[in-house]
Amino acid sequence: MRIAMIGTGYVGLVSGACFADFGHEVVCVDKDAGKIDRLKQGVMPIWEPGLEALVKSNVERGRLNFTTNLAEGVDGAEAVFIAVGTPARRGDGHADLTFVFDAVKELAHALKGPAVVVTKSTVPVGTGDRITELFKKEGAPAGTSVASNPEFLREGAAIADFKHPDRIVVGAEDESARQVLREIYRPLFLNKAPILFTGRRTAELTKYAANAFLAVKISFINEIANLCEAVDADVQEVARGIGLDNRIGPKFLHPGPGYGGSCFPKDTLALLQTANAAGVEQRIVKTVVEVNDERKATMHERVLHALGGDLKGKRVAVLGVAFKPNTDDMRDAPSIPLVKGLQDQGATVAAFDPAAMGHAKDLMPEVEFTNDAYAAAKDADALVVVTEWDEFRAIDLERIARTMKGNVLVDLRNVYDRAEAEEAGFDYSGLGRGRIGGNGAHLKLVKNGSDDVKVAR
């Protein structure tokens, strides 16, 4: 099968390389000539485990090629995937479809014969219909059809997710498109990955519903963690206790500093815009967006509290700035408002991240970036874990405690065992692991805590 992939961002590049690895002949197209040149030389534009080796081996086998020339890239392709960015539009949170429609217009004139054009980019319900109309208007070859095939790839685990998906969702309005996509995914199909064929609009909405539901799960456990701090319970045990119920499941029940990344924040906002336009309220998702925004904006207060209410002249070491481990992605990372909050309160911040410091430097002026976690912690009053990189789990707690001036450890990912941290000399606080600080001080951390909660104590 000959496939063209428009867009060599994280989704396009991973999908293109994986399709090539299935044995298809893939051409990845991007307008960015520098990026294409670097890809041809085997230099990856993103940090994703396993990607470089996968790209190189498929380029060597001649199955994966790169070009800036769209007409050349789509020549003879039976399927053309659109995997360009759909960022949140400034101001209203609508998905910005400029890149999608630009690609579609160009494609309409570049195609020499009919092809199945598939949106992999996350696009609002009805985008497939709009693309179909645009193809007609621009005079695309007769028989060109439009399908939706949303991706469910986690950054940092994207290749494994692509090759071992929980499911593949295909939204198509005609049998020929279904046939082409069935053929493309045949290797996974043979591996028993469920393929769900449905309507195009349904497939488009499925992507948003999946991400919104996962965001609900995370915000739910974050709020339960807040409650655990007020009533002296352990959220890890609560998560295990509820997660063993098959109806709930154990995943996405890890409390943290609020979800970030390229998908959840933008897709929840875009879903709200879709609902708004349809005149249908989505109160749960709306609340989740608020809960998460507030959580991110208040995480620095935990450090403030742990350091006795004053950050002036204090030095805080931040471990991890990427929005999650195994990526260099800083989009909507909770570290950004956290660091700003600390600095606004007068703290000096040092930070280390194994992959994201290059991107973080511009976003976090005045942060002193160091070469490792120990250097960041040197002379610090407090150590804050923001991203749960494996190498932080393996840190020598006694050694890092010795390099610090103070002994506060705020663990926003619950990576350490409290007893071990205390044994190493730390004054430890995690998320939702019993009372914080005693004396009811934790109540200050629970925003919107009603009077009833205080009385109940």
Catalytic residues: 263
From CA 117, how far away is CA 108, in angstroms rounded?
10
- Single out the residue of 85, 149, 145, 138 nearest to residue 109, CA to CA: 138
Among left, alpha and beta (phi > 0; psi -120 to 50; other), residue 23 is: left
Is 10 a binding residue for ligand UDX by CB under 6 A? The answer is no
Is 22 a binding residue for ligand UDX by CB under 6 A? The answer is no
Is 337 a binding residue for ligand UDX by CB under 6 A? The answer is no
Is 18 a binding residue for ligand UDX by CB under 6 A? The answer is no
Binding ligand UDX by CB under 6 A: which of 35, 314, 315, 324?
324
Choose between 274 and 348: whose C-beta lies nearer to ligand UDX.
274
Choose between 11 and 401: whose C-beta lies nearer to ligand UDX.
11
Is 197 a binding residue for ligand UDX by CB under 6 A? The answer is no
| Residues 199-218 interacting with ligand UDX (rule: CB under 6 A) | 211, 214, 218
Q: What angle do CA 260, 262, 267 make, to 5 degrees?
A: 90
From CA 37, how far away is CA 27, in angstroms rounded?
14
Can you read off the two tokens belonging to residue 341? 């909050």
Place of tokens 């002193």: 368
Is 291 a binding residue for ligand UDX by CB under 6 A? The answer is no
CB nearest ligand UDX: which residue? 263
CB atoms within 10 A of CB 399: 12
Task: Determine the interface stretch with ligand UDX among 44-52, 150-158, 280-288, 416-424 (rule: CB under 6 A).
Answer: 150-158
Is 167 a binding residue for ligand UDX by CB under 6 A? The answer is no
Task: Determine the interface stretch with ligand UDX among 153-161, 175-183, 339-347, 372-380 (rule: CB under 6 A).
Answer: 153-161
Is 19 a binding residue for ligand UDX by CB under 6 A? The answer is no
Q: Contacts with ligand UDX: how many residues (CB under 6 A)?
A: 19
Count Cα atoms within 13 angstroms, Cβ side, for 300. Answer: 22
Is 328 a binding residue for ligand UDX by CB under 6 A? The answer is no
Main-chain phi, psi angles of 292, to 5 degrees: -70, -40
Residue 408, C-beta contacts closer than 8 angstroms, at least 6 positions apart: 303, 306, 307, 381, 382, 383, 426, 427, 429
Name the amino acid, one letter, at 176: S
Is 155 a binding residue for ligand UDX by CB under 6 A? The answer is yes
Main-chain phi, psi angles of 382, to 5 degrees: -140, 150
Choose between 137 and 167: whose C-beta lies nearer to ligand UDX.
167
CB 179, CB 116: distance < 8 Å: no
Is 254 a binding residue for ligand UDX by CB under 6 A? The answer is yes
Is 428 a binding residue for ligand UDX by CB under 6 A? The answer is no
Which residues sit at the interface with ligand UDX, rule CB under 6 A? 151-155, 211, 214, 218, 252-254, 256, 259-261, 263-264, 323-324
